[in-house]
Amino acid sequence: MARNIPKAVLYQRKRERKTDYKKRRTLLLSQKPRVVFRSTNSKVIGQIIRFDTKGDKILVGVDSTFLAKYGWKYSFKNIPATYLTGLFLGTSALTQKITEAILDTGFKTPHKRGKAYAFLKGLCDAGLTVPHGDDSIFPNDARLSGEHIQNYGKSITEKGTTSSQFTQYLKNKVLPENITAEFERIKQKLLSRGK
């Protein structure tokens, strides 16, 4: 006589790949607020969250579309925009007297010198204490300021060709060659805001 053994069903949030409970447990045991970093197809989202028995409380939250208020007409998901989002979140956290936190990237493993670490560099430059390893994980300053985008834009205009990558920039009437100057201008605004 055959017996059907019932299948063990995972927690719903684990099935839907929304929560990694093992990682969440280790983060909660630190008893520090979590800096949650999420990247979508159109923007970057950052939140500082504190655990509560009734449910997590969002203390500070921002996404990269806020950069439009500061005059940013470039992509909201590139490395310079990610760094500026981290810088803004860090200065906002310091105004609410949050001085330290732990980075939570969810299911995604961050890549060395990638967006998650550009975001973390922005948090650290704002003055927030976030434990991280070696500083070699951060993108270099030229990449943070968008110099790689600027150089690629210059090479395209020198060749006289057009690229479908910059159609949104042209629609917004900005040139990729000016991204580093715009980055520095907004960075200074955000740093002066935090003081």
Q: Is residue 174 part of a domain?
A: no
CATH number of domain containing 121: 3.30.420.100
pTM over 0.85: yes
Task: Give dist(CA 98, CA 78) in Å, integer.
Answer: 27
Q: Is residue 158 part of a domain?
A: no
Residue 124 lies in domain: 19-145+186-194
Does residue 194 register a pLDDT over 70? Answer: no
- Beta strands 57-63 and 102-104 are unpaired
pLDDT confidence of residue 153 = 87
Q: Is residue 167 part of a domain?
A: no
Residue 133's CB is within 10 A of a number of other CB atoms, namely: 6
Coarse DSSP helix, strand, coil percentages of the chain, rounded to the nearest 5 percent: 50, 15, 40
Give the tens place of pLDDT for each residue, 135-184.
899 999 999 999 999 998 888 888 877 777 888 888 888 988 999 999 99
Instruction: Please give the share of the chain, as a percent, with pLDDT higher than 90.
Output: 61
Give the tens place of pLDDT for each residue, 57-102.
999 999 999 999 999 999 999 999 999 999 999 999 999 999 999 9
Q: Is residue 50 part of a domain?
A: yes
Total domain count, the chain? 1
pLDDT confidence of residue 88 = 96
